[in-house]
Structure 1
Amino acid sequence: MGIEIAYLADHPEYIQTCASWIYGLWGSQSGGTYERALSKFTDGANKEALPITFLALHDSKPAGTVSVWNTEASRPDLTPWLSALYVHPFHRNKGISLRLIERLIAEAYRLEIKELFLVTEKAKALYERFCWTEVEPMATPYGEATLMKKQLE
C-alpha cells in the first residue's frame, strides 16, 4: 500500500496542506481562521513535546493527519487531545485512520501521557475499537457529539 506514518516535523513542506484540510473541514464552519489552523500545525511540527502532528504519506504524498494537542476549545479543562484526524477522500477505507490512531497512541505512551480525550460527531465506533470510552454527550458547532477518553495507564 506504500503508507508511511511520519512526524510532520520531518515533512514541514506539508504544514500548509494539513492546515488547509483541517480549516476546510472544521475551522471554516466554526468561526476559525486559516491562520489559526496554520499556527496549530506549525506548532505541531515537533517531536519532543506537545503539540505533535503525524502525517500519513502514500508514495511520499500526504494522505492524512492526526495530532495530539494540549487543549481543545470545546473543553479547555481537559488535556491532552487526539485532534484533527483527517484522511483525504482518495485514501479513505484503506486503514489509514487506524494506523494514524495507533501511531498517536504509541506516541502518548512514549511521552508518558496518562489519558487522552477527543470529541467525535460520527466516529464513536472507530474509537471504541481502540478502547476509548464515552465520557458524556455534547454539542459542537457541527451537531451532536461524544466526548471520549482513553486511559493509558
Structure 2
Amino acid sequence: MSLQIDWLAHHMQHSDRYAKWIHQQFHYEYTHQPLADWQREFAQGQSNGEWSCLIAIDGERLVGGAALARDDLAHRPDLGPWLACVFVSPEARGQGLAERLIDGICQEAKDCGFARLYLHTQSKQDYYAKRGWQVMERFRAWDSEHALMARDL
C-alpha cells in the first residue's frame, strides 16, 4: 500500500465519493438532506473551513478520511471544533488508518490554536475512550443513544 495522507482540498476529484460514503455510513443524520445537497455542502466545506477533510489515498484510490468540522451537532452550537466524518473503506481497515487520520485532525486543531476537540458517536465510544476521549454527556438523537465526547489537545 503506497498510502498518502493529504487534505481533500488538494484532491477534489474524491470529494463527491467521500461525501457519499459519509451519507451512507451515517444515513440517520441525513434523512432530510438529499445526497446531492450534502455533496455540494461538503465540497464547499473544503474551502470555507466548515468540513476540512483529511483523506487517505492508496495510489489513485480513496481509502478513508476524517474531518475537522466547525459545527457537527445542532443542539450544541456552543461546542467546537469537531472530529467528524471518520470513515475507512472496508478493504483498508485494521491497519491503524483511522487512528492516523484522527491524529492528523487533532494536530491540525491544535495547530489552529484549539485546546479541545469534540465528537459524537453512536457505537464507537469504546474505540475513542481507548484513545484519550472522555464522555461529556449522553443524548438521544436519530432514534438512538449517542455519546458526546471530548479530548484535550
TM (normalized to structure 1)?
A: 0.88
How far does residue 142 in structure 1 lie from its aligned partner after superposition? 5.5
How many aligned positions are there? 151
Cα deviation code 1:70-118 (max 9, x no counterpart): 1123422211111110111121112111111011111111111121110
Q: Could you tell which deviates more after superposition, 127-136 or 69-78?
A: 69-78
CA distance in 1, matches of 2:51, 2:24: 20
Against the structure 1 CA distance between its residues 133 and 57, is the aligned structure 2 distance closer, same or farther, given a 3 Å change threshold?
same
Q: Secondary structure at the match of 2:20?
A: helix
Q: Could you tell which deviates more after superposition, 123-132 or 113-122?
A: 123-132
Give the structure 2 partner of residue 139 of structure 1.
140
Q: Give the alignment's Cα RMSD to 1 decimal.
A: 2.0
Give the structure 2 partner of residue 123 of structure 1.
124
Give the structure 2 partner of residue 31 of structure 1.
32
Give the structure 2 partner of residue 52 of structure 1.
52
Q: Percent identity at matched positions?
A: 26
Q: List alignment gaps of at least 5 residues for structure 1.
A: none
TM (normalized to structure 2)?
A: 0.88
Q: List alignment gaps of at least 5 residues for structure 2.
A: none
CA distance in 2, matches of 1:113, 1:40: 24
Against the structure 1 CA distance between its residues 97 and 56, is the aligned structure 2 distance closer, same or farther, given a 3 Å change threshold?
same
Against the structure 1 CA distance between its residues 74 and 95, is the aligned structure 2 distance closer, same or farther, given a 3 Å change threshold?
farther
CA distance in 1, matches of 2:14, 2:43: 10
CA distance in 2, matches of 1:36, 1:139: 25
CA distance in 2, matches of 1:122, 1:4: 28
Q: Secondary structure at the match of 2:76?
A: coil
Give the structure 2 partner of residue 149 of structure 1.
150
